[in-house]
């Protein structure tokens, strides 16, 4: 399953975003729909901890392919990471794996 997202252009303070890469998390307990209200997510570690999500990749660009998945609906969270390894708030993406 391939997912893609838009690269951030600015930080919260309005300065230009300098992204070193991304972290892609797959929610381990797929909800009916992916969360859209990110206001309650101020930091990644408490939110996407152990049993909530698994990091499945750290691509340098805005695409990621998750392999070996069964058919079904999946929810991903993507964070931008800067050179100091600080993560942004997550952007949630829904994807459906179809049987071929």
Residue 65, φ and ψ in degrees, nearest 5: -115, 120
pLDDT on residue 20: 94
- Distance (Å) of CA 65 to CA 21, 58, 85: 15, 11, 22
Q: Which residue has the tokens 């996407």?
A: 48
How sure is the predictor about 36, in pLDDT bands with cuts at 50, 70 and 90?
low
Q: Is pLDDT of 43 > 80?
A: no
Give the mean pLDDT of 31-38: 60
Give the mean pLDDT of 22-49: 61
| Average pLDDT of the chain to the nearest whole number | 78
Q: Give dist(CA 84, CA 92) in Å, integer.
A: 23
Closest-CA residue to 34 (of 59, 3, 11, 64):
3
Q: Is pLDDT of 92 > 70?
A: yes
pTM over 0.85: no
What percent of the chain is modeled with pLDDT above 90? 24
The alpha carbons of the chain give a radius of gyration, in whole angstroms, of 14
Cβ neighbors of 50 (< 8 A, separation 6 or more) are none
Give the mean pLDDT of 58-83: 89
């Amino acid at each position: 399953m391939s997912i893609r997202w838009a690269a951030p252009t600015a930080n919260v303070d309005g300065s230009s975003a300098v992204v070193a890469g991304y972290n892609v998390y797959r929610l381990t307990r797929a909800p009916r729909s992916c969360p859209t209200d990110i206001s309650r997510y101020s930091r990644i570690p408490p939110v996407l901890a152990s049993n909530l999500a698994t990091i499945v990749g750290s691509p340098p660009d805005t695409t990621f392919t998750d392999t070996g998945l069964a058919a079904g609906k999946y929810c991903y969270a993507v964070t931008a990471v800067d050179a100091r390894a600080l993560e942004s708030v997550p952007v949630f993406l829904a994807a459906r794996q179809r049987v071929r």
